[in-house]
Amino acid sequence: MARNYPANTQIQKFLEESYNKERDTRLQWFYKLKDSNSQVATSKQSEVARRKIQNAPKPAEDLFKKLPAEYNPPQYNKKKSDFNAVMDTGRKLQQLVAEMRPASAGTKEKLYDGFTKEGKGRYQYLQCRNRTSPEEKFEFPLLSSWEYGWRLGDVIKKEDIKKPSYGRTRIVADTFYTRTGIPDNPTVSI
């Protein structure tokens, strides 16, 4: 049997009045006990913990008492670093890091021609930079994910990749099943 809760406005009003009455009763009880007991009731555990904290010696004082009278902290024989030498090696490493090759003069001119809002300027520059492949922009792949397909044009020529007139390309079927030793594509029936 399904319950129609709250069934109508009369029941809703009744519940609202009940909740308000209960809330008011609890508040009256709280204020009545608050006025009658001026001391705040605390548990014995919190009282014991407070006394322990107050009576406990301060840790710094105990440490100084335990130290011998003539205490010298140990000194280690460390060489002082030559930060200039570190900076020189940092510059050499920075030169070795593969940075993006600079854009051509024609591409740079697009950067300063017009506004992005008009479809010129920075927008046109980024579109032109996006058309160049990563192999042309970088010496070698910066990320491990770039290694997949890096210099793929050297292995497969664009003329060999043909878009089928109907359907999708078979690049997965042609490369995966022969490479892994799986004899044939299981979805294709013989």
Q: Determine the pLDDT at residue 148.
A: 82
Q: Determine the pLDDT at residue 169.
A: 60
| Cα 8 from chain centroid (whole Å) | 49
Q: What average pLDDT does this structure show over 18-43?
A: 78
Residue 76 token pair: 């280690």
50, HSE (Cβ side, Cα atoms, 13 Å): 6
CA–CA dist 124, 62 (Å, integer): 72
Q: Determine the pLDDT at residue 129.
A: 92
Q: Determine the pLDDT at residue 86.
A: 59
Average pLDDT, the chain: 75
Choice between 70 and 32, residue whose per-residue pLDDT is larger:
32
Q: Determine the pLDDT at residue 124.
A: 93
Q: What is the pLDDT of residues 87-122, one digit of tens each?
A: 555 555 555 555 788 889 999 999 889 888 889 999
Q: What is the pLDDT of residues 137-173, one digit of tens each?
A: 888 888 888 888 888 878 788 777 777 676 666 666 6
